[in-house]
Homo-oligomer: A and B are copies of this chain.
Amino acid sequence: MILLHHLRIGRSIFTVWQLEELAIDYELKVYHRHPETFRAPDDLRLAHPLGKSPVIEDGGLVLSESGAITSYLLEKFDTENQFSPARSDLVAWGEFTQWLHYPEGSVFAPLLIKMLQMRSGQAHEALEKFSSNEIKLHFQHIAEKLDDREFILGGRFSAADFGITYVISLAKRLGQLDDYPSLEAYLGRNLSRPAYVRALERGVE
């Protein structure tokens, strides 16, 4: 059975959601952040040397990186391609794969910089300029893609929506979503899916 090392609060709720969408049997091992420093507890390092979450275990395999976990779960459990294009359609699969890498590969870093500055209460001119410009670039790009689409690949929800939903939800937490009502609507659409509601019931006590 899949075991998910699940750190409250953080991105691993999005992995719980995936497990629910894929209707996989799974166990959660829950970790709590330090109430003051907000840091992950040290015992997460027993699960994976980097001490980050999400991490899944499947038999002897221990896997980190959200996008890699998504790919692994699809490969093992989504054998009928409900959540991603078949690889035989190489163009559609390539585009899917691009959207799978994009949230962590491009969108997360400027949000992280914004978050670290906000938390510290100290601004930094060059970093502030960089993060604001990049956040604008990426969320405009996502909004343009979603202009005539219900989900990031088109009319059908796919596993590429997990990561996009994650970075949009993080942007919302950081107060960066005011100019993007269509992204708010997309977020609401995804977070009201029955599988996400079940994820909250199991993953957020």
Q: Which residues of A contact B (CB under 8 A)?
A: 49-52, 58-61, 63-68, 71-72, 75-76, 87, 90-91, 93-95, 97-98, 100-102, 104-106, 108-109, 112-113, 116-117, 119-120, 122, 124-127, 130, 137-138, 141, 144
Contacts and interface: CB of A to CB of B under 8 A. Distances in A.
A102 B65 contact: yes
Contact of A71 (B50, B60, B97, B106): B97
A61 B93 CA distance: 11
How many copies of this chain does the complex contain? 2
A68 B94 contact: yes
Q: Which 5 A-B pairs have the closest CB atoms?
A: A120-B126, A104-B105, A65-B101, A124-B124, A68-B98
B113 A119 contact: no
Given A67-B101, A68-B101, A112-B109, A91 B122 contact: no
B72 A106 contact: no
B127 A116 contact: yes
Contact of A108 (B61, B109, B127, B130): B109
A21 to B, nearest CB: 19
A60 B61 CA distance: 38
A65 B108 CA distance: 13
Given A49-B141, A65-B97, 14 more contacts: A61-B94, A63-B98, A65-B102, A65-B105, A67-B67, A71-B97, A104-B104, A105-B108, A109-B109, A109-B113, A113-B113, A113-B127, A122-B124, A127-B127
Contact of A106 (B52, B76, B98, B130): B52
Nearest to A120: B126
Nearest to A137: B50
Given A104-B104, A109-B109, A95 B63 contact: yes
Contacts of A113: 109, 113, 116, 127
